[in-house]
Chains A and B, each alone.
Chain A
Amino acid sequence: MKRFLVRRAATALAVVVALSALCFALLDLAPGSPAASVLEARSGGRPPSAADVARLEREMGLDDPLPVRYGRWVADAVRGDFGVSYGSGRPVSEIIAETAPWTALLTAVAMVFSVAGAIAVGLAAALTRRAWARRAIETALFALGGMPGFVTALLLLWIFAAWLQVLPSGGLNRPGEPITAGVLIPHLILPALALSFGHHFGTYARLVQTGVGRLRGAPHVANARARGLARRTVTARHLLRPGLVPFAARLGVGVGGLIAGAYATEMIFSWPGVGRQTILAAQKEDYPVLAALVLVAGVVVVAANLLGDLAVAWLDPRVRLSGAAPGSPPGGTPGSPPGGGVPETAATPSGPVSSGKAADALH
């Protein structure tokens, strides 16, 4: 397990380093001089003189060699200093601190919708004895899965905000108005549902359904019943736990999709989060903000992937053994000696649970 952890953490770190280089390149190669932008922002839009720009560039260290500038940027970033926004002149870290909690809240609630809902719906579809019920769920999930996220969002808006008029269409961010739970919760429901349904709910529920459904007739489930275990033990431990492996493997990767989805969702519902801020920064060519937000989102995605891998390793310990990607259980070793001890690699090449990312492909 330790080796598995170390290997995964090292991979994650490498990805973060590569991402930081990319973000820095975005910042560094962008047209225009940051010094000019800062001066412009300070003076309220008047074009600065070339001498002022050159002086500030020296002060900011913009004439240092590239590796030095990258090193400095990384060192600052690690301390939480991402420079100053071209647009507003405010520290980028302040902008992140303002917007990140909103996105965290939105994605967390969407994630809870997705996980709880996918498990409930997937389990129901896998266990129901009524063929029509299963088919109805499958069809609904298929439709959900096939719909682009923004269409789902608009559909939800149309139904709940325009037609039924039970939920607000957005506009949480009204200046001067304190945000209380009474205001927040109704504003949160639609974006979170849109994010959940629009991006991965269908896939997740189908993964749970196929993962659990495949195990229904498995010998170890029959054995669990034959030993007189309570029905909920059989379902939770012998069906759900091994059946969730493909889902869990997908979940970590899904966080990336969730964050990507948050960009569109936040725009549609004018949610004051990182996604909306990123798009606004891109439109305004506010590179320090853009680079910092991309890096932060990237780090979150990498961390989520790592957590997903750990969840899979916990659910299906065979993954730990191989240390390889989930989906390659340790192969059957034909030459394991007879008797005597527990041969570490004598395995069932075709266990009832085939773990991992292979199950990503649903059809």
Chain B
Amino acid sequence: MSDALKIEDLTVAVPGRTVVDGLSLAVAPGRVVALVGPSGSGKSLTARSVLRLHDPEHRVTVTGRILIGGTDVLALGRRALREVRGRRVGYAFQDAAASLNPTVTVGRHFTETVRAHDAGDPRELGAAALQRCGLEAGQVWDARPYELSGGQAQRVALALATVLEPDLLIADEVTTALDPVTQAEVLDTVRAQAAERGRAVLLITHDLAVAGRWADEVAVLSGGRIVEQGPSAEVLAAPRAAFTRELVAAARLDTALEAPAEVPDGGPLLETRDVRRVLRGKGRVTRALDGVDFAVRPGESVAVVGRSGSGKSTLVGVLAALDRPDAGQVVAAGRDVWGLRDRERRELRRGSGLVFQDALASFDPRYTVGKVVAEALGRRASKGTDVGELLERVGLDPAMADRRPASLSGGERQRVALARALAAGPRVLIADEPTTGLDVLAQERVLALLAELRRDTGLAIVFVTHDLRVARRIADRAVVLAAGRIAEELPVTALAGARHPETRALLAATPAMATGVQ
């Protein structure tokens, strides 16, 4: 059988740099092939080249051949290319919600796609595609993208990419931001459709464990070249290339990083007592936190785990004294946070440093790295040296102070966020999914840095994550949240044997810990 996608000797270059260098790859109908590599390895550029989606502004030059069912995409005229886009090749993007136009309804997206290709009745085709992705059309058709949950948005995006039953689906990091349970559901759907409908799938991911669980074949990309390629089970079990071995090792790392020999005694640094928080949307009330007792002691590292919507981020807001609970107490250093005056509470907030998932969005885009950190230092910043010291402490070159966060890599941005969080000399670091968007190698470096900070300074860490592998690596203790309540609290070493159904569901959905890398 001929390949649905055949890439021959692909070279992708941006001015001054060759990003993809002589890549060849084939995907047969009904097969799922994963293109795996860290950020900057050229995997997304490769994927985008298949439909020639590069922003003209970036002056990307693509040479080689990209055959879709025998047609060379790179040689097509504009009209013929449009025929291929959407009809023969579907493309699902990383950030599903952002990949939909917020000003028009979900239904409009389907309608315009079907109409652009004169393919039949939009509502009928759209409903069928949504159904295949596990959604009822009536549920989402008239909704707007921002009204969908993360999982729903990704399903809608997937249905939209496959509404015309393309021969090839390109899934570009589609589950990176999803919790493991939702990720498993979405990727199971992709796989099932590939098998049922004979659709070829090119799965772009930075997570080798994801590739191992959901792809038939893996191609490992490093520095724009494929360093290893083969059936995923073989590649993961016996990686030959040194780079693949490194990736496999990072994906496997679910053992704890070196913790301080002794956790100092003392009362809790930060504590919530029977905290309740109700969130009111239009016509909808959610018990985001429903009686949570949580404590972190000096020098301790606690992982808060749970799927999206379990209340993790609400807990972060409450712990950071940013969000006032409707009932219950938040106690910091022995004092009731909401019994204090505003001034004292502001002072207290300095005791905890905050790091967010989207580091870039947490910076003022006009600030340089140096200014971001200096602002947090406040009056204590007398000279530029303080900023330099902080940057050095998080493993960054002090010369980076003059750069803007947007020009940094994901891992570097997260380090800047960390430097800012450390500026006020906190005793607790509250990190909300800080490694979620990072590739395994960058993630590993950030985790190692956190462990080192903890060891050297006795910093306590509250680490919010939906990834049990990360929890196991960074924390002593895991608190499992479900629907606003603490489902289970246990040492991370006992995670594998957990009994609670919520913990078991998370475990089963986490690729490396379940069936993938063993």
Contact = CB atoms under 8 A, between A and B. Distances in A.
Interface of A: 129, 216-220, 222-230, 233, 237-238, 241-242, 245, 315-318, 321, 329-330, 333-339, 341-348, 350-353
A334 B311 contact: yes
Contact of B113 (A217, A229, A335, A338): A229
B146 interface: yes
B93 interface: yes
B99 interface: yes
B443 interface: no
B232 interface: no
B257 interface: no
B483 interface: yes
B87 A228 contact: yes
B116 A226 contact: no
B149 A216 contact: no
Nearest to A353: B102
Contacts of B279: 333-336, 345
A224 B116 CA distance: 11
A226 B150 CA distance: 21
Contacts of B161: 226-227
A226 B144 CA distance: 20
A346 B147 contact: yes
Contacts of B484: 335
B306 to A, nearest CB: 10
A233 B104 CA distance: 13
Contacts of A238: 101
Given A335-B279, A346-B147, A346-B148, A226 B51 contact: yes
Contact of A338 (B48, B90, B117, B182): B182
B103 A343 contact: no
A351 B102 contact: yes
B405 interface: no
B100 interface: yes
Contacts of B152: 339, 342
A216 B182 CA distance: 30
Contacts of B157: 223
19 contacts: A219-B94, A219-B99, A223-B100, A223-B160, A226-B51, A229-B86, A230-B82, A230-B116, A241-B101, A318-B102, A334-B311, A335-B279, A335-B313, A335-B484, A336-B279, A336-B309, A338-B310, A339-B152, A345-B282
Nearest to A329: B146
Given A335-B287, A345-B282, A317 B144 contact: yes
A227 B102 contact: no
Contacts of B82: 228-230
A220 B145 CA distance: 11
B98 A351 contact: yes
Contact of B95 (A219, A336, A341): A219
Contacts of A321: 282
A238 B143 CA distance: 17
Contacts of B314: 334-335
A-B pairs with lowest CB-CB distance, top 9: A335-B288, A345-B281, A334-B313, A228-B86, A228-B85, A227-B86, A226-B91, A219-B99, A223-B99
Contacts of A333: 279, 281, 286, 288
A200 to B, nearest CB: 24
Contacts of A245: 103
B109 to A, nearest CB: 8
B456 interface: no
A316 B309 contact: no
A348 B97 contact: yes
B98 A352 contact: yes
B140 A342 contact: yes
B146 A336 contact: no
A343 B100 contact: no
A337 B309 contact: yes
Nearest to A333: B279
A217 B44 CA distance: 14
Given A335-B288, A337-B286, A338-B149, A225 B103 contact: no
Given A342-B148, A343-B281, 14 more contacts: A129-B56, A217-B57, A223-B160, A227-B116, A227-B160, A229-B116, A237-B112, A241-B104, A333-B281, A334-B317, A335-B279, A338-B308, A341-B139, A352-B98
B55 interface: yes
Nearest to B95: A219
A340 to B, nearest CB: 9
B151 interface: yes
A317 B84 CA distance: 32
Contacts of B53: 222, 225-226
Contacts of B307: 338
B83 interface: yes
B147 A217 contact: no
B151 A339 contact: yes
B283 interface: yes
A262 B84 CA distance: 53
B103 A353 contact: yes
B103 A342 contact: no
Interface in B262-309: 277, 279, 281-284, 286-289, 307-309
Given A315-B103, A346-B147, A346-B148, A338 B116 contact: no
Contacts of A226: 51, 53, 85-86, 90-91, 93, 161
Interface in B62-118: 82-87, 90-91, 93-95, 97-104, 112-113, 116-117
Nearest to B105: A317
A130 to B, nearest CB: 11
Contacts of A336: 149, 279, 281, 286, 309
Interface string B114-154: 00110000000000000000000001100111111111100
Contact of B85 (A227, A350, A352): A227
